[in-house]
Amino acid sequence: MQVGTLRIGTSGIVVPGTKETFPEEYRSASRLQYYGSLFNTLEVNSSFYKVPLPATFEKWSQEVPDDFKFTVKLWRAITHKKKLPYNPDDITTFLKAADKIGAKKGCLLIQFPTSVKIELRREVKNILKQVHALNSVPGWNICVEFRDINWYIGPVYELLDRYEASVVMHDMPGSKPPVSDEATRVVYLRFHGPDGNYRGGYSQEFLEGYAALIRTWLAKDKDVYAYFNNTIGTAFEDAQTLRKLVEQPTP
């Protein structure tokens, strides 16, 4: 029996067709409003490239149903500079703006690139420490995506736990973490495409396997966020299929 909450969506707004082909009641609405009728969460990637205005975050919040949750990706000026020489004021500015999402906060995605190696653990710790300190109520679920295999060790999991953060389970070749909820407060799944190039689609067998895992996590009272980032491929269809597979009765 499901206990935790399941949220499945896409990385960025992915909806089929154009406004002319939307249901009539959404043809004069925004793409986000239509998306919000199809999914209960969205991973916002535009915030990685530029910090949206507070008014923009607030507008997004007003355009979706009450039970909708946003995940926002932390600005690349914080996470993607060589050796992580970030400005602490940038974190403050970002979180202050994103707070306007209010009760519709889901996860804060902190994605580090391949160039961020385990030797930068102190710098990663400093980012997590500040994010945790500024995480106002209702808070974000802090989730960290590493792109180097050497991060998946006990001391790093302890560091994440200290700052109430979870590791993102993703499928980028060469940097995939173990598929386990033991070191997570919430389960965050991120699918980048079968070959890790944001293209293509997932097989029925693959999605059925994750549907079974998700049902297990939900039964353990874990909230699950799953996002399909194969947006050049079949992200929309894969998200819909996974949700149906999780929800269908089991023998």
Sketch the domain layout of the chain as residue ranges: 6-247
Q: What is the mean pLDDT of the chain?
A: 96
Which pTM was predicted? 0.96
Share of the chain above pLDDT 90, in %: 93
Distance, in Å, from the CA atom of 101 to the CA atom of 98, rounded to the nearest integer, reads 6
CA-CA distance, 128 to 64, in Å (whole number)? 29
160-176: pLDDT as tens digits: 999 999 999 999 999 99
Give the three-state DSSP class for 105: strand
Can you give the pLDDT at residue 180? 86
pLDDT tens sequence across 181-211: 876 789 999 999 999 999 999 999 999 999 9
pLDDT interval class at 249 (50, 70, 90): confident
**Would you say residue 1 has pLDDT above 70?**
no
Supply the pLDDT for residue 2: 67
Report the CATH superfamily, name and number, of domain 6-247. Protein of unknown function UPF0759 (3.20.20.410)
